[in-house]
């Protein structure tokens, strides 16, 4: 759409010159006109004939109002007529209005009579725009009237929006079905509504000084969408754009930081209990094979390694410097890192913004910018990168290698990640603490993990996004290649309050996060344990090739709960084709239920599980399996676990891989069986019918977002 | 309200005599009038003066319509005038209508002009009634128009409803706020709406043959509620009432079954692998101290105990007979049990309704009724009652005694209960399999557990309720004393389909279950693991004395997630009074955040945890604590766990008990710490910020329902 930017500029310049932060209604109309946003037509009639002509041009009915600088109370003066329905009525109304005005105030100067299109019927909706401190410009759409007010039925997108995205907003609200026409009402024009949304999104993007905009109500009909009321609020000092290096630059620096060949430990120590000692131990005992340079003002040697007074004395190149010194010494050491051209600094020390030392944090940020050092932290536990056996933390080495990369904004949550991973033997490529995020944040990590062949799933705990817009852009790209899971803390009003007391960062409106993350293809984890379960399972599950999920269960009761969980997680239980139903029936007792779930019944031998699972894998129409196991003497847990692994590997040899998850109901022996299955790539859970389906659901959500299914 | 039942009876009798299952509109109006349900007033005017008088009596505006058997198309005949606003207009309208009619058809017989009250504005709502096969008569209330259609915004209650319950319906719908008046609209009369709901609920209860009723729309205004349209559907063959023993009779029989002094094992066997052998072993090895009578057609002795050919040969009294024989032999053995006057039969065998043998199941039901034997099952694993060391199952004994009683409809889920309980060391009083529920069901168990001093929490997995109404009645009473947790499987449409293929029982509409269970004070578990977690934790948590929850955390990140979880679970984070805030601040570093969460920060020694937790317990304004622990070298996991237990026990000695839950973030050592805490009555969880808050939330939900808080 070609927009008349010059007209808008003129309106805004005038308002700015007059020191106003709100536009007047006529100004709002001009702005809308310039961007093709339909508003009620209006015109000024100088005669009865004029009025009739104007009205005919815009279509009936119309509203007519006296225009006079001397008449403030138009209705009182008999200067308003609503519902004018014909040219004749318009002429009559004109005369009546002027006559009334003269009677009301003999000497009133009369400029004429305003004729305005009257909006009738249609569906009331709201279109608006806001400026979020993390995401920038956002366009909003909701149902009008009580629905948006009582049910908060509204949805957001980053502005500007494309056509598809604008259309998607119409389906993203709870009451979206209303727009399709219910109870005999006509469907509204989706094209027109989406067009209006796009125009608003382009307007606020083109003019960042438009802080807020409300079109409320907009009347949507089968042929158009017209904004009955326009409200535009200005902010003449929009925030400056944040500095962002190019994606290539980020990759270059992050590769040196995350996969270093040489690490300096600033504040390395031989003394037990010191952080600088823990870091040294973890690097050495973790098996890191690169160069380690202890930095210490006095010691000539630390833990058998030659120590240096400063990074500047180190003969070779250094990729990353890990800081284990008090906050007050950080700035000076950081300058030295800059002079040594070290690309990354890992700032473990606390005592910056989180304790109120905002200035101190600003100082190191400026040093980082000046010398082009990327800063991780401060106020973090450090980071792990297992392919390099790198444990640059004060925790303990983690050596169960795998494909999940995790990060946390909080140290406590980082420790929970480490503990869970170790306990559940989760394969991990990296664990990174981001802490105060003075520089490096989630989008830098995403950019690195995107091209890191050792990472296949990315899971991030965050309380805020310093630059939600960058994150959304990067996540949209990365999530098409690898699942990105986000645990957004501070989701709720109360939670958000706590977030701000913790990090000093204002947590964003959760609805905005929710909409933008979804649009970016991010899988949002509802809780900490979910994030961990997803990260653990998603690296194991192959990508499904279609939507047909089949449950095969020995316990009918599990089958019902697994079905519930499938619905809860947006999975489609395949409608079983008759021939496939017959094929399953061959293997199960006559009173077992084929259909879906395939209920093989509880007393069956291993062969029944084996045959049905094999069939489920072999038939191309089935895309994923959910197994429900019931502990019996006839098929004990480990027998079940081994037979499943056997079938899966037999099929894999034939080139067949499908996501399979398992729910194990039984006595404690099922825990060992679940572990065996997990070790062989099949996410399996004892005593739960929800978790296996939830992780499969997460994989599907990702695959759909990435365009890999449907 | 006094209702005119005779009038209704007359209307219904006429419809029945005419073989109709739907009432006509005038009949519907008569029925409504008889129960004080307001419908638009109407009357037949024979003259213009008459019309004016009638209209004045009902209030303006009115609609006036010609009444003539010869004029079918009233509007076409000019026989309808809407919006008549005064007596004069009514007179004019009368004359015009009659004149038009005569002009339209000269010889038309004119009975007069109908004058009908015209309903204006107000809020459109729906009131209705349905008959559910499990719950019987239910009254429904929802918002009218698109809200009920698109958002399915409707709520149900068992009919008849009391006043409070009817009023509660107005707040149980999502858009309930609309009724309070939004956007300048007036609030509707809650009294009038609730009154109408009650009248409908009483009507359908008084006349069970009314199968369905719809008042749609009802116009609710600030002064009244009037049904604009009435639809009543009849079912002249309402289902018979189910046989229910009295509560006393249930208690008497259940006490003998669940706490027997003598058990017969029908089909006892010495042969390994047989169910009758497993049951014998479990009784003996489980440590059951009562009498055990093996019943076997040939063996004189089984496992060192004298065996009998039939229960009838056993010299002493028998409380319960456990069946471990094939289905086909059950009926005969059951008759013998009846002759021996055994009050309970535990029917482990499968091969009844679940395999299509509906007749076989009916036969044993009839024998049970004839001899007054209560039947558990068939198609079950049996049952445990740990206070008696009783394991009447083919599984393995369970000996970790505690206060949770659990039941499952499905054997698979029963095995998961046993496995989880053993693994998590959940204290259990009973685990019961209900299987096909040919007789004993959840309400019998509830009645028993209510008076069982060994049980404090009841958790039930069910796929359907054979008699939802009885269950609701009993649960309402029992849940005021002990938490009742229900995992209702087949919640979703797909799930419900699976349920019906499993048990042949039609799973009820989930919304009905949800509403009725909530009204009965039942805590509904969203999934299997939740049910198990609730059962495990609720027996440990003391009942809170008020709503003020305080989070004390070492990890700020956990604090944010715990806050989110509090909101998700309906908990109120206490707004910290200034003096209490100051008191907390004394113990924490200056940069720590008091307020709520109390963020003591991560590097603190044990004393900081200790002092703040102690203060949280001592201050009377705080009613529950949520602890967030962060694993550090300064306060290692077990040090934390021990200090918490110490403080809690110190306070308990002073008579202070409050519910406390803990979330532990750290390396694998936190698992041992969580176990230590749990063992000492503090539900604690590693790597989860959601589960601890969810179980506290469940306790609160129960306490509120039971009227113990607020």
Over chain A (710 residues), the average pLDDT of each successive run of 10 is 90 94 88 95 91 91 88 84 91 94 90 87 88 89 78 88 95 89 84 96 96 90 90 85 88 98 97 93 96 96 96 97 97 98 97 93 97 96 97 89 96 95 96 96 97 98 92 97 96 50 38 92 97 98 97 94 95 95 92 83 91 97 97 94 98 97 97 97 97 98 91
Q: Residues B503-535: pLDDT tens digits?
A: 222 234 788 899 999 999 999 999 999 999 999
Q: Are residues A55 and A190 in the same domain?
A: no
- In this structure, what CATH number is given to the domain that contains residue B608? 3.40.50.261
**pLDDT reported for residue A694:** 98
**pLDDT reported for residue A493:** 57
Q: State the average pLDDT for chain B.
A: 92
Where among A512, A539, A566 does a domain terminate?
A539
- Residue at B17 is within a domain: no
- In this structure, what CATH number is given to the domain that contains residue B73? 3.30.1490.20
Q: Are residues B387 and B453 in the same domain?
A: yes
Q: How far apart are CA B637 and CA B633, in angstroms?
A: 9
- In this structure, what CATH number is given to the domain that contains residue B162? 3.30.470.20
- In this structure, what CATH number is given to the domain that contains residue A342? 3.40.50.720
Chain A contacts in chain B segment 672-701 (CB below 8 A): 686-691
Measured from the Cβ of residue B61, the count of other Cβ atoms closer than 10 Å reads: 17
Q: Are residues B595 and B510 in the same domain?
A: no
The residue among B171, B487, B498, B527 with the most chain A CBs within 10 A of its CB, best to mutate, is B498
- The CA distance from A691 to the nearest CA of chain B, in Å, is 9
Chain A contacts in chain B segment 176-215 (CB below 8 A): 177-178, 182-183
The residue among A406, A554, A564, A637 with the most chain B CBs within 10 A of its CB, best to mutate, is A564
| A411 touches B at CB < 8 Å | yes
Which residue of A lies nearest to B568 if distances are taken between CA atoms?
A: A492
Q: Are residues B105 and B199 in the same domain?
A: no
Q: Are residues A144 and A103 in the same domain?
A: no
H helices present in B152-295, as ranges: 163-171, 190-206, 247-258, 275-285
Q: Which long-range contacts (CB under 8 A, 24 or more apart) does A617-621 make?
A: A617/A647, A617/A648, A617/A651, A617/A656, A617/A658, A617/A660, A618/A651, A618/A656, A619/A580, A619/A583, A621/A548, A621/A574, A621/A577, A621/A580
Q: Which residues of B touch A665 (CB under 8 A)?
A: 412-413, 415-416, 419
Q: How far apart are CA A284 and CA A302, in angstroms?
A: 12
Nearest to B412 among A555, A567, A591 (CB): A555
Q: Are residues A534 and A557 in the same domain?
A: no
The total number of structural domains that make up chain A: 5
Q: pLDDT category, B1, cuts 50, 70, 90?
A: low
Q: pLDDT category, B159, cuts 50, 70, 90?
A: very high
- Residue at B267 is within a domain: yes
Which residue, B580, B496, B516, B593, is CA-closest to B553?
B593
- The CA distance from A74 to the nearest CA of chain B, in Å, is 23
Nearest to B494 among A503, A563, A691 (CB): A563
The residue among A687, A689, A690 with the most chain B CBs within 10 A of its CB, best to mutate, is A687
Q: Which residues of A touch B561 (CB under 8 A)?
A: 413, 487, 489, 495, 527-528
- Residue at B20 is within a domain: no
H/E element, A686: strand A684-686
Q: Are residues A84 and A108 in the same domain?
A: yes
Nearest to B567 among A489, A492, A669 (CB): A492
Q: How far is CA B499 from CA A124, A540, A557, B386, B495, in A?
A: 42, 31, 8, 31, 6
Q: How far apart are CA A395 and CA B342, in angstroms?
A: 64
Q: How far apart are CA B189 and CA A400, in angstroms?
A: 65
Q: Mean pLDDT check: name the lowest of A301-310, A316-325, B265-274, B391-400.
A: B391-400
Q: Are residues B590 and B495 in the same domain?
A: no
Q: Are residues B127 and B52 in the same domain?
A: no
- The CA distance from A46 to the nearest CA of chain B, in Å, is 37
Q: How far apart are CA A147 and CA A67, in angstroms?
A: 36
Q: Residues B110-128: pLDDT tens digits?
A: 989 999 888 777 888 999 9
Q: Which residues of A touch B508 (CB under 8 A)?
A: none
Where among A65, A93, A118 does a domain terminate?
A118
Q: pLDDT category, B493, cuts 50, 70, 90?
A: low
Q: Are residues B200 and B302 in the same domain?
A: no
Chain B contacts in chain A segment 568-607 (CB below 8 A): 568, 573, 589, 591, 593, 595, 597, 599, 602-603
Burial track B476-504 (b if 16+ CB lie within 10 A, e otherwise):
bebbeebbbbbbbbbbbebbbbbbbbbbe
Q: Which residues of B touch A493 (CB under 8 A)?
A: 567
pLDDT at B175 over 50: yes
Which residue of A lies nearest to B501 if distances are taken between CA atoms?
A: A593
- Residue at A690 is within a domain: yes
Q: Is the distance from CB of A587 to CB of A663 less than 8 angstroms?
A: no
Measured from the Cβ of residue A328, the count of other Cβ atoms closer than 10 Å reads: 11
Cross-chain Cβ contact A150/B555 below 8 Å: no
Q: Residues B608-649: pLDDT tens digits?
A: 999 999 999 999 999 999 999 999 889 999 999 999 999 999
Q: Burial, B138: exposed, middle or buried (Cβ in 10 Å; 0-12, 13-18, 19+)? A: buried
Q: Which domain holds residue B173?
A: 123-234
pLDDT at B495 over 50: no
- Residue at A522 is within a domain: yes
Q: Are residues B76 and B95 in the same domain?
A: yes
Q: How far apart are CA A500 and CA A664, in angstroms?
A: 42
Cross-chain Cβ contact A573/B688 below 8 Å: no
Q: How far is CA B453 from CA B450, B457, B481, B482, in A?
A: 8, 11, 11, 11
- Residue at A34 is within a domain: no
- The CA distance from A403 to the nearest CA of chain B, in Å, is 20
Where among B117, B148, B170 does a domain terminate?
B117
Q: Are residues A146 and A111 in the same domain?
A: no
- Residue at B579 is within a domain: yes
- Residue at A307 is within a domain: yes
Q: Across the A/B interface, how many CB contacts are shorter than 8 Å?
A: 289
């Amino acid at each position: 759409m070609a927009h008349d930017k010059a007209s808008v500029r003129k309106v805004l310049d005038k308002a700015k010159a007059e020191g106003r932060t709100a536009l007047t209604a006529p100004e709002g109309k001009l702005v809308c006109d310039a961007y093709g946003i339909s508003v009620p037509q209006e015109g000024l009639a100088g005669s009865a004939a004029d009025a009739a002509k104007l009205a005919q041009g815009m279509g009936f009915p119309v509203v007519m109002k006296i225009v006079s600088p001397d008449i403030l109370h138009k209705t009182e003066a008999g200067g308003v007529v609503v519902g004018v329905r014909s040219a004749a009525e318009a002429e009559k109304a004109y005369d009546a209005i002027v006559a009334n005005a003269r009677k009301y105030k003999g000497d009133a100067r009369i400029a004429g009579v305003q004729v305005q299109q009257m909006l009738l019927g249609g569906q009331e909706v709201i279109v608006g725009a806001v400026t979020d401190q993390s995401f920038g410009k956002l366009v909003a759409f909701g149902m009008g009237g009580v629905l948006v007010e009582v049910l908060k039925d509204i949805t957001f997108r980053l502005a500007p929006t494309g056509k598809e995205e604008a259309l998607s907003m119409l389906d993203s609200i709870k009451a979206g079905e209303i727009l399709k026409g219910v109870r005999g009402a006509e469907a509204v024009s989706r094209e027109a509504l989406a067009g209006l949304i796009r125009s608003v999104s382009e307007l606020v993007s083109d003019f960042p000084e438009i802080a807020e905009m409300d079109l409320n109500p907009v009347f949507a009909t089968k042929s158009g969408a017209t904004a009955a009321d326009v409200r535009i609020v200005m902010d003449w000092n929009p925030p400056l754009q944040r500095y962002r290096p190019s994606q290539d630059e980020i990759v270059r620096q992050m590769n040196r930081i995350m996969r270093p060949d040489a690490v300096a430990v600033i504040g390395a120590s031989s003394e037990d209990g010191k952080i600088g000692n823990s870091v040294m131990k973890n690097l050495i005992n973790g098996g890191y094979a690169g160069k380690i340079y202890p930095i210490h003002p006095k010691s000539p040697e630390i833990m058998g390694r030659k120590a240096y007074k400063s990074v500047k004395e180190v003969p070779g190149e250094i990729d990353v410097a890990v800081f284990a010194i008090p906050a007050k010494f950080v700035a000076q050491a950081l300058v030295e890192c800059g002079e040594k051209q070290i690309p990354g600094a890992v700032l473990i020390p606390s005592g910056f913004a989180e304790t109120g030392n905002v200035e101190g944090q600003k100082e190191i940020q400026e040093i980082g910018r000046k010398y082009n050092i990327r800063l991780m932290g401060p106020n973090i536990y450090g980071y792990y990168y297992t392919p390099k056996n790198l444990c640059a933390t004060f925790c303990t080495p983690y050596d169960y290698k795998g494909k999940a990369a995790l990060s946390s904004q909080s140290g406590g949550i980082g420790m929970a990640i480490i503990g869970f991973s170790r306990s559940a033997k989760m394969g991990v490529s990296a664990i990174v603490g981001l802490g105060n995020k003075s520089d490096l944040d989630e989008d830098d990590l995403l950019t690195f993990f995107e091209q890191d062949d050792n990472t296949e799933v990315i899971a991030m705990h965050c309380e805020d996004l310093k630059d939600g817009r960058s994150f959304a852009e990067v996540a949209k790209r990365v999530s098409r290649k690898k699942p990105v899971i986000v645990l957004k803390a501070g989701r709720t009003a109360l939670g958000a309050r706590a977030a701000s007391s913790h990090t000093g960062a204002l947590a964003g409106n959760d609805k905005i996060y929710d909409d933008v993350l979804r649009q970016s293809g991010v899988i949002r984890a509802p809780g900490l344990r979910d994030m961990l379960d997803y990260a653990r399972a998603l690296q194991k599950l192959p990508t499904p090739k279609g939507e047909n999920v089949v449950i095969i269960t020995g316990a009918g009761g599990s089958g019902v709960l697994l079905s519930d969980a499938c619905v809860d997680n947006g999975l489609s239980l395949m409608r079983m084709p008759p021939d496939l139903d017959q094929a399953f029936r061959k293997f199960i007792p006559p009173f077992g239920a084929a259909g879906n779930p395939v209920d093989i019944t509880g007393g069956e031998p291993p062969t029944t599980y084996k045959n049905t699972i094999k069939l489920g894998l072999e038939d191309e129409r089935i895309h994923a399996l959910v197994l429900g196991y019931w502990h019996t003497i006839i098929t004990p847990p480990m027998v079940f676990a081994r037979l499943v692994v056997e079938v899966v590997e037999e099929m894999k040899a034939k080139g067949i891989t499908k996501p399979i998850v398992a729910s194990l109901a039984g006595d404690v022996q099922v825990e060992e069986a679940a572990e065996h299955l997990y070790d062989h790539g099949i996410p399996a859970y004892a005593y739960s019918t929800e978790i296996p389906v939830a992780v499969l659901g997460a994989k599907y959500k990702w695959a759909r977002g990435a365009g890999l299914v449907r």
